[in-house]
Structure 1
Amino acid sequence: MMERGYLVSGRYEILDTLGEGGMANVYLAEDTILHRQVAVKVLRMDLQHDQATIRRFQREAKATSELSHPNIVGVYDVGTDNGMQYIVMEYVAGDNLKTFIDQHYPLPLPEVIEMMTQVLSAVQLAHSQGIIHRDLKPQNILVTASGQVKIADFGIAVALNDKSVTQTNSLLGSVHYISPEQARGGMATPQSDIYALGIILYELLMGKVPFSGDSAVTIALKHFHDEIPSLRQFNHQIPQALENVVLRATAKDPEQRYQSAAAMAADLQTSLDPERANEPRFVPVVADSNLAETKVLSDLPNEVRESELASPDQAATATNTEPDPVAPNVKRRLPKWSWWLIGGAGAVILIVALVLLLGKKDVTVPDLSGMSVNEAKLTLQDKNLKIGQTDYEHSNQVAKDLVIRSDPSVKTSVKSGSTVNLVLSSGAKTYTIGDYRDQDYDTVKSKLQRAGFTVKRKNKNSETVAAGQIISQSVKAKKKVVPKQTTITLTVSQGPALVSLRDLSMYTKQEAQEYAENVGLKVTFGTSEYSADFASGTVMSQNPAAGTSVASGSTITLVLSKGAEPASSSSAADSSSENQQTEETTTFDKTITIEPATASNDSESASGSSTTAGSTFLIYIGDAKNSLSTVYKKIENVTATQKLTLSFEVKDDNSATYRIVRDGVDYANETIKP
């Protein structure tokens, strides 16, 4: 054990103990140079003096340090401190997957698939570089707070394999995930890791491992004798396609498992698709008789092996074996007919041998999908097959340089020694983006969608680009992209911005010019005219009329009032005198109905009915007491139809005028008499 504060190699300060195992102890430490927290794994003291173990430990640790993947715990440093072998790794704050399952089970199926996809991606990288984990289990998979998973302990199980026979408790932790071939004492292969991944997927779905028992041997025997318990029998929510991933990954025969982690990931990612809802249950082919042989578990303590694996017959054979009583130098004489018999038997054996040598038996083409060329070559060699022609084609699902399919296809029966052609992925098909500026949006959109792009539109006003044509694009021209993975946004011109003209009546010349400048319009002034209704110097008319929508940059024409037309003094005096003698005043009322503006079609509700917004009404009255140039009354936020009564006062038989403006647009204008 290392004490807190101890500096490993003068650099890594021990802060705390993270865990103690049968093979190594792990500590939380501070890298005093880079000022970051790291995990330091140190071989147990009782293993520090075994040179073979040390060499394997260093070799595997260095190989693991070359695995750069977001789902693999990074290895920063490998070294020795006072004879202690250590590895400095990335510190991952969080629980291991075993604890995560215990605390969060049951997990949503999409989350299970996402976590397993991350694990499979990491294992695929390791396998592609010739590294087999050999001890995959939830305890060796860490889960961060964000849900990212990271595999730890790459290579440690390999380095300590020979010593594990003395670590019974360590084996008990791994035997739940051990493949049948490993349980028999066979060598671990990538398919051994695939088997462990299938057990881990089972545990994610069920919250427990498929096999349990009182001893490591009991559990190991179940791995190569018992079928994996049905997932759907206990949880009907699990689709058959998802259960099939578990069944195929845990097939007893390694050849019937996925041939790569990438192939397993590809199958897993579509297991929830509706198209696979009626998929039949995966049923492995009956295992070869060679698979039924049971060898002694090499990773079990001697006393366990002897007591639990050796049968009484084997024990008797081992203890009662006696040497051949006939000395090796004593010659036996055989009758002559025996030599004829031996010669005939030899001829028969020779003929059989020739038949076996010359005849080619049928073999089944393995599943090579997702493999690299080297992996496919080794897999075919195991079947006494060889690689023939290799061709490339684009694929959105299979990574570049990995096998898409074989010819003959998987499970096809061929003669031993035959060649198998491979179709490799050249990666996803790329598309060179063009320069779509000033082109018609609908035409470009149709072209891009046919190529597989997702196209989005963004509207923008422009005075230089015609309406409906493209102003800009989110992906630069000449860039090569994968259509299925790319969304391109096209900014489309709506033409110049439209301005709804305000009612400029009674604006001064300066006010009208300021308004026009603010909204991007040009203004000209026509010949001023006399008007008793508008004060001198104010706008009395405009063209286009108020409420008209015009493009930015358009010109409007305004006419200013010169005020009331002057009259001669004598006639004015006579008229005044006459009016004083004859004028009579009359008052009367007029009731008018006003309604708010109805919203445009763009503002219609989802039900299709139109909605109203509050309207503002300006009331102008021209009579003996009021001028049309002055607002008589202002009514705001009118949302419903209402009655409005106006009072007028006229002299003699003169008429009165009223004008109503709603939201800047003339609503009513009428001249009336009593």
Structure 2
Amino acid sequence: MMERGYLVSGRYEILDTLGEGGMANVYLAEDTILHRQVAVKVLRMDLQHDQATIRRFQREAKATSELSHPNIVSVYDVGSDNGMQYIVMEYIAGDNLKTFIDKHYPLPLPEVIEMMTQVLSAVQLAHSQGIIHRDLKPQNILVTASGQVKIADFGIAVALNDKSVTQTNSLLGSVHYISPEQARGGMATPQSDIYALGIILYELLMGKVPFSGDSAVTIALKHFHEDIPSLRQFNNQIPQALENVVLRATAKDPAQRYQSAAEMAGDLQTCLDPDRVNEPRFVPAVADSNLAETKVLSDLPNEVRDSELNQPEEAEAEHPADAKAPKSTVATKAKRRLPKWAWWTLGGVGLVILVVVLVLILGKKDVTVPDLSGMSVNEAKLTLQDKNLKIGQTDYEHSDQIARDLVIRSDPSDRTSVKSGSTVNLILSSGAKTYTIGDYHDQDYDTVKAKLKRAGFTVKRKNKNSETVAAGQIMKQSVAAKKKVVPKRTTITLTVSQGPALVSLRDLSTYTKQQAQDYAEGVGLKLTFGTSQYSSDFTSGTVMSQSPAAGTSVASGSTVTLILSKGVEPTSSSSSDADSSSEGQQTEETKTFDKTITLEPATPSDESENASGSSKVAVSTFIIYIGDAKHNLSTVYKKIDKVTTAQKVTLSFEVKNDNSATYRVVRDGVDYANETIKP
């Protein structure tokens, strides 16, 4: 027993005891890393040195960890702590199905069907991966507060290809739910689980199991000798179609049961449909009388054997008149009727007829090769023996659908007609083909992505800025190098460099030269200065315009060009100039005109996929400057965001006399158009 507060492997803190079993104890614990409650199953101390028990315990961990399904209790971790074997599982706060039935019986039929459908869905997944539970019972099915069911305790679950699957003369699992073939010590198959599911469905409907007795042997005998008690006899509200599901699932002959949990679920889901109201009761087919056990005379009591061996000849029984006469008289008459040579002749003819009959009976007949896919070699061997066939060579090949060591197909293939006694070769699965992950750091993303996709991987991209890794190259990978994985089951995420981080340019208007230099140094930009210009709007020595424009995103280390103001343009002091200017002002003429320009978004420079897997869309921002009688080139005339397609823009100008106008267009921080025009 573990005490409260004990840390299993330094991570799982024991909080309480949930239960004690014959093989393991189960504790409620706190995962101190993920901060969630878990169930920790620990192999009992007295079994820690029992290698067979340890293997069985490890087999449970392996069987359950391979199954991921909302109706199967999840396994989070497996390990050993100071020699103690443990499994960390999902903690389910709720009752097991046995307790749930006791508390809530009778259950509404739709609720019964819904709960049973969940169980069947989980069992179907296990069977599809070659795992038989072998101990299905309500005590191993948990019910959450929301009504969701989860199958637990794969303690004796065994993969179909496990050599320990046959346990002759031992009853594994609970006897109330054990199939007839298991009770006889035979091999457990998916149909054995389906039999147990039929008993569980019976218990959900009746609140009790169908068979009971004073001992396990008594109950086991009832499973393969007695019919399942009628549900409708005790509750005529149960539809015949629903009872038929129970009857078919619990047929004594596995071949007459549902061949899969999915088939049983499909039948169950329609059992309340109106078109099945008048469905007849399911009656299993009568077993072949030839399969009845043969008597061995040497095993019979002496008096019975003697009486059978001393019965009169059939020929004598068929002639009552002759039977009344003494045996010596009958024999004398027979000898008189047929001479000795005639008896030899008749004996020879009879022998020939017997040989012919034996040849006809025992001669090789045509048989059909059964479907062996998904079976272990043991199962395939038994199935072939039933058809008087035998296993030949076994070869291996990779398969993504069939588990390792199970049959992919046979040669000849199933449904092929062959002679009795023929040999059938098996192609077994060596498991899914694996791929060794490479080290993709500093490699081109597009090249690596194409290579991985050809191999069958799902590739996802994640973008990240980097000062040291060139744009488009891989910085990180989600699956470590040298790891072997199955491509079709693996998603790999590659983190790709976008180059240095982008800087959104601040509006530097009115900044002094020193202030602009301080800003550029702080964000990692370089400055250049163009020719200073006169301006009545900006103080001399301050920034009047910048390229790229304010708001533009540029990479760290980019160069920004600034134009400084020279202040107000000086005027002539001579009177003649003043007069001339005055005269000119009196005669100046104002003209207006328009200019239509076309704005087109930039073509993306990176055609690779973004993180969502879609291609980049061209989106541009345009800033327009106008220089005329009313506008200054240092002032933004118009800003147009999110331009995705070509669009036309009309610019209006106003000039004096024969003066010209100028416009400048900046696209995404880079000069796009610059023109001087006249009316």
Distance 1:447 1:232 in 2: 58
Distance 2:508 2:368 in 1: 89
- 2:114 is aligned to 107
Structure 1 position 422, deviation (Å): 0.8
Instruction: Give SS of 1:513's match.
Output: helix
Distance 1:383 1:439 in 2: 58
- 1:554 is aligned to 558
- 2:460 is aligned to 456
Counterpart among 414, 423, 426 of residue 418 in structure 2:
414
CA 416–630 in structure 1, closer or farther in 2 if over 3 Å, else same: closer
Structure 1 position 539, deviation (Å): 1.3
Structure 1 position 233, deviation (Å): 7.5
- Post-superposition Cα deviations, 1:355-408, rounded to whole Å, max 9, x if no partner, equal 379623444434432233244334434544221122222211211111112223
CA 62–491 in structure 1, closer or farther in 2 if over 3 Å, else same: closer
Distance 2:552 2:119 in 1: 61
Structure 1 position 509, deviation (Å): 2.1
Q: Point out the more displaced range, 549-558 or 422-431.
A: 549-558
Counterpart among 192, 195, 208 of residue 192 in structure 2:
195
- 1:605 is aligned to none
- 1:404 is aligned to 408
- Post-superposition Cα deviations, 1:287-312, rounded to whole Å, max 9, x if no partner, equal 641488599xxxxxxxxxxxxxxxxx
In the alignment, is the contact (CA less than 8 A) between 2:461 and 2:496 conserved in 1? Answer: yes
In the alignment, is the contact (CA less than 8 A) between 2:467 and 2:500 conserved in 1? Answer: yes
- Post-superposition Cα deviations, 1:420-457, rounded to whole Å, max 9, x if no partner, equal 11111121122344555666655654554443322222
Distance 1:326 1:528 in 2: 135
Residue 68 (str. 1) matches residue 60 (str. 2):
yes
- 2:137 is aligned to 137
Distance 1:473 1:90 in 2: 29
Amino acid at match of 2:401: Q
Structure 1 position 39, deviation (Å): 9.8
- 1:491 is aligned to 495
- 1:221 is aligned to 226
Distance 2:267 2:487 in 1: 24
Q: Point out the more displaced range, 206-215 or 500-509.
A: 206-215
CA 181–458 in structure 1, closer or farther in 2 if over 3 Å, else same: closer
- Post-superposition Cα deviations, 1:492-526, rounded to whole Å, max 9, x if no partner, equal 45455555544322112232123323443211234
In the alignment, is the contact (CA less than 8 A) between 2:141 and 2:149 conserved in 1? Answer: no
In the alignment, is the contact (CA less than 8 A) between 1:391 and 1:424 conserved in 2? Answer: yes
Structure 1 position 232, deviation (Å): 10
Instruction: Give SS of 1:524's match.
Output: strand
Q: Point out the more displaced range, 399-408 or 323-332.
A: 323-332
Counterpart among 510, 514, 518 of residue 514 in structure 1:
518
Distance 2:500 2:552 in 1: 15
- 1:642 is aligned to none
Amino acid at match of 2:197: I
Distance 1:566 1:423 in 2: 98
Instruction: Give SS of 2:401's match.
Output: coil
In the alignment, is the contact (CA less than 8 A) between 1:224 and 1:252 conserved in 2? Answer: no
Amino acid at match of 2:187: T
In the alignment, is the contact (CA less than 8 A) between 1:453 and 1:483 conserved in 2? Answer: yes
Amino acid at match of 1:208: L
- Post-superposition Cα deviations, 1:94-137, rounded to whole Å, max 9, x if no partner, equal 533444576764426873344324765899367xxxxxx5x643
Q: Point out the more displaced range, 494-503 or 509-518.
A: 494-503
In the alignment, is the contact (CA less than 8 A) between 2:181 and 2:187 conserved in 1? Answer: no
Distance 2:310 2:352 in 1: 29
- Post-superposition Cα deviations, 1:227-284, rounded to whole Å, max 9, x if no partner, equal xx9x99858xxxxxxx99x99975654356689xxxx579899999xxxxxxxx9x99
Instruction: Give SS of 1:107's match.
Output: helix
Distance 1:270 1:329 in 2: 56
CA 288–504 in structure 1, closer or farther in 2 if over 3 Å, else same: same
Q: Between the two proteins, what is the percent identity of the paired residues?
A: 53
- Post-superposition Cα deviations, 1:308-331, rounded to whole Å, max 9, x if no partner, equal xxxxxxxxxxxxx99579899999
In the alignment, is the contact (CA less than 8 A) between 2:141 and 2:152 conserved in 1? Answer: yes
Distance 1:511 1:400 in 2: 71
Distance 1:354 1:294 in 2: 22
- 1:254 is aligned to 254
The within-5 A match list for 1:381-460 is 381-434=385-438, 441=445, 444-460=448-464
Distance 2:87 2:547 in 1: 79
Amino acid at match of 2:431: G
Distance 2:61 2:506 in 1: 64
In the alignment, is the contact (CA less than 8 A) between 2:469 and 2:497 conserved in 1? Answer: yes
CA 450–152 in structure 1, closer or farther in 2 if over 3 Å, else same: closer
CA 180–294 in structure 1, closer or farther in 2 if over 3 Å, else same: farther
Distance 1:561 1:325 in 2: 131
- 1:481 is aligned to 485
Distance 2:100 2:574 in 1: 105
In the alignment, is the contact (CA less than 8 A) between 2:460 and 2:494 conserved in 1? Answer: yes
Distance 2:541 2:155 in 1: 90
Distance 2:551 2:18 in 1: 78
Counterpart among 208, 232, 236 of residue 205 in structure 2:
208
The within-5 A match list for 1:547-626 is 550-564=554-568
Amino acid at match of 1:552: S
In the alignment, is the contact (CA less than 8 A) between 1:431 and 1:480 conserved in 2? Answer: yes
Distance 2:517 2:167 in 1: 87
| 5+ residue gaps, structure 2 | 1-15, 30-38, 45-49, 65-72, 80-85, 158-165, 213-218, 269-278, 295-300, 313-325, 580-600, 603-628, 636-667, 672-679
Distance 1:483 1:397 in 2: 13
Structure 1 position 472, deviation (Å): 4.5
Distance 1:220 1:71 in 2: 33
Amino acid at match of 2:61: H
CA 511–19 in structure 1, closer or farther in 2 if over 3 Å, else same: closer
CA RMSD, 1 decimal: 7.5
In the alignment, is the contact (CA less than 8 A) between 1:71 and 1:118 conserved in 2? Answer: no
Distance 1:550 1:89 in 2: 54
Distance 1:329 1:205 in 2: 50
- Post-superposition Cα deviations, 1:195-222, rounded to whole Å, max 9, x if no partner, equal 3434516856994379986987599533
CA 541–325 in structure 1, closer or farther in 2 if over 3 Å, else same: closer
Counterpart among 369, 373, 379 of residue 369 in structure 1:
373
Distance 2:124 2:311 in 1: 68
